[in-house]
Amino acid sequence: GAVVSQHPSWVICKSGTSVKIECRSLDFQATTMFWYRQFPKQSLMLMATSNEGSKATYEQGVEKDKFLINHASLTLSTLTVTSAHPEDSSFYICSANSIQVTLDNTQYFGPGTRLTVL
């Protein structure tokens, strides 16, 4: 149980275009979903926290107008990278908390999406 999927697993796009990445909790409902970015040889960096039906909370230094997050249901969150540039090329990973989990806050991670902007 507790499986999180991401789509697409990889994407290549031209500079200036927008890319949407989906994150789904397949067998549980998620109270909160998180988006991370990971550059090569580095650790994961939290970008934003999203709760279903409310606006996402962005970490310091993350542009909310560039990285649009929509969390329309308890099983789906989307991250749209708008007007992508080569410096946005990275590994994007989402995670989710189960609505049934109250205390220990175990998060379940998706497999990641590799974005390459040409």
Partner 1 sequence: DAKTTQPNSMESNEEEPVHLPCNHSTISGTDYIHWYRQLPSQGPEYVIHGLTSNVNNRMASLAIAEDRKSSTLILHRATLRDAAVYYCIRYSSASKIIFGSGTRLSIRP
Q: Which of 69, 108, 115, 117 binds partner 1 (CB under 8 A)?
A: 108
Q: Which of 25, 78, 95, 98 binds partner 1 (CB under 8 A)?
A: 95
Q: From residue 1, how far is each of 4, 64, 93, 98, 109 by CA, in Å?
A: 9, 32, 19, 11, 12
Closest CB 37 distance from partner 1, rounded Å: 11
Q: Does 50 bind partner 1 (CB under 8 A)?
A: no
C-alpha 117/C-alpha 107 separation (Å) is 29
- From the list 12-20, 32-40, 63-71, 76-84, the region that binds partner 1 by CB under 8 A is 32-40
- From the list 14-22, 66-74, 81-89, 109-117, the region that binds partner 1 by CB under 8 A is 109-117
Ramachandran quadrant class, 83 (left: phi over 0; alpha: psi -120 to 50; beta: rest): left
Closest CB 16 distance from partner 1, rounded Å: 26
C-alpha 30/C-alpha 101 separation (Å) is 9
Q: Does 25 bind partner 1 (CB under 8 A)?
A: no
Q: Does 44 bind partner 1 (CB under 8 A)?
A: yes
C-alpha 75/C-alpha 92 separation (Å) is 18
3-state secondary structure of 87: helix
Closest CB 36 distance from partner 1, rounded Å: 8
